[in-house]
Structure 1
Amino acid sequence: MLNNMKVDNPSAFRFIMPDELYLLPEDKVAKPSPIAVEPVATAAEPVIAPQAAAVTEAPQAIKTTEPEFNYLGKNNKRFLILVNYQNEEFIAAPHLAALENILKRKELALDDVAIMNVNKYQPITIAKIAELLKPEKMVIMGKDALPQGIGNLVLNTPVQGRKTSVLYSFSFDEMMSSNENKKAFWDQMKTI
């Protein structure tokens, strides 16, 4: 009887044969999709199309990823320098030249440090900085570069934390106009 039957839709097999005869082994695990059957209208009863139920799902909260900190240098020696420049990506060019000279005197290169402009990430916390950059040494250049939660630091007095040595000093603008400020900064920078 099955030899004479022609089946146009493979889904019809499930109505005339057991699943084991026509399903592949990997298809037996998954349930076959149900077949949609169109209602047949008779002259006595009109076909009424089923109304789609309005599906209202609660909007899903979209979690945005926080951007990683963008900094100048490669942070090879875990030496972080925090600055605050409103109109610069990282640091003003004349200040970068002065900083590179200071680093050379400490036998460091730009690749050894990370220069981060905190102005781009305000408000910024010391906990977030420590989590992402893991500094062992940190120089904070000016009061505007102080991250939240750092506590009270005394100007040009190095502090040894649990994991990080911290020096809070003058900004480059304050140092460029005063030889006393330059000397005070360099005296402490040598120790960190």
Structure 2
Amino acid sequence: MVSQLTTNGEGLRLFFTDDIYLVNEPDSTLKEESQIYLKEEVPSLAQPSVVSEPVVSLIKEQPDFKFLGNNNRNILILVNDEQNDVSDEKGRELLRKIVKSINLSASDFALLNYARYKGASYEQLKVRFSSVIVFAFGVSAEQLGLKKHPENMVVTEGGVKLIFSSALQKLDEDTNGKKVLWGSLKQLGL
């Protein structure tokens, strides 16, 4: 199911056609530093020093993520490979085995190469993909703006189950890491 929630500035402009401004009122007895007014409701637009920039420009732009799969079950798989679209042949084969072992098809998940979107935050990914499960291969929790989490273990952030693991090429050579990951995958009950 695709989420109808968006933070895309262009999309929001289709629905919100009135200008919105943040107005600072230093003499106000309210605890908040600023209030939001529609253009027609602003007490005095004659004082341009009081009116600040439109709110729409304060919304952080959402990257246009290019991914594989249909994301029907809201499962996000992150890989991190600078040279390949997904991984090298060994890494792709390992990913195929992992996906097959938990009974997922390409229509169930979105596969995104994080190397193309360095700096994208967990919140941006969560908003775009409406994920209930995230597998991160070669992408650390810190890169996503989260606190550090152990590798190959199921953790929960904001109701989303996440598993952080090493890059597919490295994981392919780590027998113990694959065993721990397999145990965590079984806990998900997919």
SS at match of 1:120: helix
Residues 75 and 113, structure 1, Cα contact 8 Å, conserved in 2: yes
SS at match of 1:140: strand
SS at match of 2:76: strand
SS at match of 1:167: strand
* 1:103 and 2:67 correspond: no
* 1:78 and 2:74 correspond: yes
Could you say if the C-alpha distance between residues 142 and 66 of structure 1 is closer, same or farther in structure 2, counting changes exceeding 3 Å? closer
Determine which structure has the larger strand proportion and give its number: 2
Tell me the distance in 1 between the aligned counterparts of 2:68 and 2:125: 15
* 1:113 and 2:109 correspond: yes
Of 92, 95, 108, the residue aligned with 2:88 is 92
Q: Which has the higher contact order (CA 8 A, sep 6+)?
A: 2
Q: Between Structure 1 and Structure 2, how many residues are aligned?
A: 130
Could you say if the C-alpha distance between residues 126 and 171 of structure 1 is closer, same or farther in structure 2, counting changes exceeding 3 Å? same
Tell me the distance in 2 between the aligned counterparts of 1:78 and 1:164: 10
Residues 100 and 109, structure 1, Cα contact 8 Å, conserved in 2: no
Deviation at 1:167, TM superposition (A): 0.8
- Structure 2 unaligned segments of length 5 or more: list them: 1-56
Of 171, 177, 180, the residue aligned with 1:175 is 171
Residues 72 and 90, structure 1, Cα contact 8 Å, conserved in 2: no
Residues 100 and 110, structure 1, Cα contact 8 Å, conserved in 2: no
- Alignment RMSD, CA only? 2.3
Greater shift in the superposed pair: 88-97 or 163-172: 88-97
Deviation at 1:114, TM superposition (A): 1.1
Normalized against structure 2, the TM-score is what?
0.61
1:1-47 per-residue CA deviation (whole Å, 9 max, x = no partner) reads: xxxxxxxxxxxxxxxxxxxxxxxxxxxxxxxxxxxxxxxxxxxxxxx
SS at match of 2:120: coil
Of 109, 117, 123, the residue aligned with 1:127 is 123
Greater shift in the superposed pair: 161-170 or 123-132: 161-170
1:59-115 per-residue CA deviation (whole Å, 9 max, x = no partner) reads: xxxx9x754211111111111111100011233343222212222221111221111
Deviation at 1:146, TM superposition (A): 5.5
Deviation at 1:130, TM superposition (A): 0.8
Identity rate, percent: 22
Q: Which amino acid aligns with 1:76?
A: N
Residues 79 and 138, structure 1, Cα contact 8 Å, conserved in 2: yes
Could you say if the C-alpha distance between residues 125 and 163 of structure 1 is closer, same or farther in structure 2, counting changes exceeding 3 Å? same
